Amino acid sequence: MTKTKTDKKKPSPKRIKHIFMYIISALIGAVYVFLLVLAKPDLSETELYVALALLFVCLYLHIIIHEFGHYIFGRFSGYTFTSFRVGSLLLMKENGQLVRKKYSLPGTMGQCLMRPPKFDNGNFPIMLYNFGGGIFNLIIAAVAFLFYIKTDFADIFFYAMIFIGVLLTLSNLIPLNLKIPNDGYNALHLNGNKAAKLGFWLSLETNAVLSEGKKLQEMPEELFETPSDADMNNHYVATIPYLKISRLLEQENLDGALKLFNEIKKENGFLDIYSKEIEAEFLGFDIMNGKINHKSEVKEELIKYLKSSVFLLNHLRILYSFFKLIENDKKNAEIYRQKYYKLAPKFPYKSIIEAENKFMQLIENK
């Protein structure tokens, strides 16, 4: 029987997203070349290739500049250094020394994470820390513009620095709330929203605590209480109960975590990104505890989600347990086991590594 047009498999959301990103990237590249040809009508083919290569070089330079801007303005605001990441390369302090780790976060090209000042009844500085990256991109773009108009030396390089600098300034300072809220959105929408400010503060504070090798359960429990009138559709407000559930899971209080998760879903709903992450954790515990015995009991979309983000230790551990204990697929189980042990030494959070290693040993012994 031949397939009709309606029988054809629809492209997945992930594939659509990739196609969309390719189109956006192509449009940006086309605008870049168009403006460059307008500025330099006598541009040779070799210079065009050089200009395209410089576009990527300048992108990485501006990412470093952007994150350094967050650092400088964060220091002015009383923040202290936690970690600095470009791509998957992460630098953090460990025993007073800068060490190199590996970490990725989709939707971000880099991050400078810092420990914020104390949360004093909702009052702590957020504007400069959030705007700092875009301001530095704009400053460097302005400096590059001065060099561009004053000299013919390396003019293509300075042009690329101007283009990328302006692009990153606009994409970071114009408020956007896509998969992850950008800097402009944070700066404008956190002011006047005490619950969201608490979530923003807590996300930075917990990251600092984990970076020190400590656990969430070492933090005061009252920090993880969500204000009763808070809007759970706000990314940072939803961070508070997400971290509370993570804290309960860290304590292996599965009943408490499940109860809170179900309450939130019933009353307010939960952001999809957090909901999937928590469901994945429950899946991992259910497999380890023998509550799931067949793949029909596992959501296929959850396995796809785990496979799409194998930069996290818990995802690799859950996939390993799924293929070893549910699918009885030794080949794939070994692939994810090896990926886990390859990533673990480079992962930035010691307390998470210790917990995940314990779970891995339990799975390996089954």
SS3 string, 54-74, reads HHHHHHHHHHHHHHHHHHHHH
What's the pLDDT at 39?
83
Decide if pLDDT at 267 tops 90: no
Handedness of CA 63, 68, 71, 76 (dihedral sign): negative
Specify the range with the lowest mean pLDDT, choosing from 8-22, 36-50, 95-109, 273-287. Answer: 8-22
DSSP structural state of residue 96: T
What's the pLDDT at 77?
95
What's the pLDDT at 1?
42
Higher pLDDT, 29 or 102: 102
Mean pLDDT of 42-70: 92
Decide if pLDDT at 193 tops 70: yes
Percentage of the chain beyond pLDDT 70 is: 94
Decide if pLDDT at 25 tops 60: yes
What's the pLDDT at 186?
85
Calculate the average pLDDT of the chain: 89
Query: Distance (Å, rounded) from C-alpha 339 to C-alpha 314?
Result: 12
Query: Distance (Å, rounded) from C-alpha 305 to C-alpha 302?
Result: 5
Decide if pLDDT at 239 tops 70: yes
Reported residue count of the chain is: 366
Helices 235-250 and 254-267 cross at an angle (nearest 10°) of 160
What phi-psi label fits residue 227: left (phi over 0), alpha (psi between -120 and 50 degrees) or beta? beta
In 3D space, the residue among 159, 164, 181, 184 whose CA is nearest the CA of residue 172 turns out to be 184
Q: Which two tokens stand for residue 239?
A: 């961070």
78: pLDDT confidence band, cut at 50, 70 and 90? very high
Decide if pLDDT at 203 tops 90: yes
Q: Which two tokens stand for residue 204?
A: 């930075």
Decide if pLDDT at 358 tops 60: yes
135 Cβ neighbours under 8 A, 6+ residues apart: 69, 73
Query: Distance (Å, rounded) from C-alpha 136 to C-alpha 138?
Result: 5
Decide if pLDDT at 18 tops 80: no
The model carries a pTM of 0.87
What's the pLDDT at 224?
94
Task: Please check whether residue 74 is in contact with residue 133, taking contact to mean a CB–CB distance below 8 angstroms.
Answer: no
6: pLDDT confidence band, cut at 50, 70 and 90? very low
Which of the residue ranges 44-58, 94-108, 267-281 has the most confident prediction, judged by mean pLDDT? 44-58
In 3D space, the residue among 292, 293, 296 whose CA is nearest the CA of residue 283 turns out to be 292
14: pLDDT confidence band, cut at 50, 70 and 90? low
Decide if pLDDT at 330 tops 90: yes
Decide if pLDDT at 20 tops 90: no
Decide if pLDDT at 4 tops 70: no
Task: Please check whether residue 99 is in contact with residue 123, taking contact to mean a CB–CB distance below 8 angstroms.
Answer: no
- Over the stretch 111-162, which tens digit does the pLDDT of each residue have? 999 999 998 877 889 999 999 999 999 999 999 999 999 887 788 999 999 9
Residue 82 backbone dihedrals phi, psi, to 5 degrees: -120, -60
Mean pLDDT of 188-201: 88
Mean pLDDT of 308-314: 90
Decide if pLDDT at 297 tops 70: yes
Q: Is 235 exposed, middle or buried (0-12, 13-18, 19+ CB in 10 A)?
A: buried
Report strand pairing: 89-94 vs 80-86: antiparallel
181: pLDDT confidence band, cut at 50, 70 and 90? confident
Task: Please check whether residue 241 is in contact with residue 195, taking contact to mean a CB–CB distance below 8 angstroms.
Answer: no
